[in-house]
Amino acid sequence: MLATVIHAARDIRVESVPDPELSTGGDAIVRVVASCVCGSDLWPYRGITPTREPHRIGHEFVGVVEEVGDDVERIGVGDFVIAPFYVCDNSCINCRNGVSTSCLHGGWWGSDDRLGGFADGGQGERVRVPLADGTLVAVPGEVADDQVPGLLTLSDVMGTGHHAAVSAGVGPGDSVAVVGDGAVGLCAIIAARRLGATTIIAMSRHPERQALARDFGATHIVAERGEVGIKAVQELTHGIGADRVLECVGTKESMDQAIRSTRPGGMVGYVGAPNGGPELPVRPLFNRNIGVNGGVAPVRGYIEELLPDVLSGAIQPGRVFDLELPLAEAAEAYAAMDERRAVKVLLRP
Ligand SMILES: [Zn+2]
């Protein structure tokens, strides 16, 4: 089959790899219907994370189950399934505590699982899914082609934006500022509105992203950053800062922006994968009673909750995809995102 392999920085190839095979009894083979490129895939692409040897890449996909192992009970051949960006059993103590990203038996796409089988990367034609009963969520009924992008966001970005909002404790009537206008930041706006926030401030400098942010529920746009941006947020929030601030970038600057845009007693929900060394300034947090909560989003636990709203069209996170390419053009997908010609690229095998 064909799958995407990263060989080095800026060297993405779609090449022939071995077909996946069932090996544990608890696994499944999924034919990928759609996958996509994640902002975090750009780190190895840009060489920020070194690529020591060629390896498979891609961790967001949806598809149709082609085979299941003898022990698989919840998932069947023919099911349309959503895979979170990691493998988990959805049953161990960490999974039951809502932290399935720390699953005691879990793992990551594009690497060996704990029993020695290979879990393929998502940017390919097929994937062997370990712990299929825990990892996968089957979508009820028929899936129309135009529903695929929305369902694919439940693999990562929609669940991650939701995690930011949940971690910050967003509730009815809250004011929320969102730092970051990538796919996760845009999904965090959807999540904030869904949870009842009434003032939603999108911090964005890009006109197309500002427009989408408004469609998703942003009531205000702040294009400025730094001190000017903080003042602009305060002016919209009784002069004190937002109740909840969702940090969706992961840099030192974005974390600083988030903390300083939060009102005394407020909470930052952070889901931007830390990159470039953000550290928490404990004294200012102490002085202003600001909490910081969040981390790598345990999206598996959010799929069932968010799925009905995606299927009904009540939320439309699939609109974050602004470019669709065939899998064979994966290299162009990375380049388009790297050069910010696209917010998020959907790949179809
Ligand atoms: Zn687990």
Q: Model confidence over 190-241: pLDDT tens digits?
A: 999 999 999 999 999 999 999 999 999 999 999 999 999 999 999 999 999 9
Centre of ligand 1 to C-alpha 344, Å, is 29
Strands 55-56 and 242-247: what pairing?
unpaired
Ligand 1 center to residue 8 CA distance, Å? Answer: 32
Amino acid at the residue 117: G
The whole-angstrom separation of Cα 327 and Cα 3 is 8
pLDDT level of residue 273 (50, 70, 90 thresholds): confident
**CATH ID of 157-294, from 3.40.50.720, 3.40.120.10, 3.20.20.140, 3.40.50.10480:** 3.40.50.720
User: Which has more pLDDT, 48 or 92?
Assistant: 92
Q: Any residues with CB less than 8 A from the CB of 169 and at least 6 apart, and which?
A: 244, 267, 269, 293
Q: Which pLDDT does position 198 carry in this prediction?
A: 98
What backbone torsions phi and psi does residue 130 show, to the nearest 5 degrees? -70, 160
Distance CA 135, CA 298 (A): 11
Domain 2-156+299-348, CATH class in plain words: alpha beta
Compute the average pLDDT of residues 256-279.
92
Q: Is 247 helix (H, G, I), strand (E, B) or coil?
A: strand
User: Residue 333 — φ and ψ, nearest 5°?
Assistant: -60, -45
pLDDT band at 127 (very low <50, low <70, confident <90, very high): very high
User: What are the CA-CA distances from residue 42 to residues 9, 163, 216, 243, 347 (Å)?
Assistant: 9, 22, 25, 32, 15
Alpha carbon distance 88, 91 (integer Å): 8
Range scoring the smallest mean pLDDT among 7-21, 38-52, 56-70, 309-323: 38-52
Centre of ligand 1 from the C-alpha of residue 134, in Å: 8
304 vs 137: CA distance, rounded Å: 8
Residue carrying structure tokens 């952070």: 270
- For residue 164, the CA-to-ligand 1 centroid distance in Å is 21
Distances in whole angstroms, Cα of residue 4 to Cα of each of 10, 94, 120, 349: 13, 31, 10, 11
Beta pairing partners, 199: 175
Tokens of 279: 């550290």
CA 117 to ligand 1 center in whole angstroms: 18
Distance in Å, CA 104 to ligand 1 centroid: 5
d(CA 113, CA 106): 8
- In the reported structure, the alpha carbon of residue 105 is separated from the centroid of ligand 1 by a whole-number distance in angstroms of 6
Could you give phi then psi for residue 266, rounded to 5 degrees?
-90, -175
Spatial separation of the C-alpha atoms in residues 153 and 161, rounded to whole Å: 10
Its pTM stands at: 0.96
Q: Average pLDDT of the chain? A: 96
CATH 3.90.180.10 location in the chain: 2-156+299-348
Predicted confidence (pLDDT) per residue in 133-164, tens digit? 999 999 999 999 999 999 999 999 999 999 99
The sheet that has 262-270: what strands, in order across it? 220-222, 199-203, 175-179, 242-247, 262-270, 291-294
Give the residue range(s) of CATH 3.40.50.720 domains in the chain. Answer: 157-294
310 C-alpha to ligand 1 centroid (Å): 25
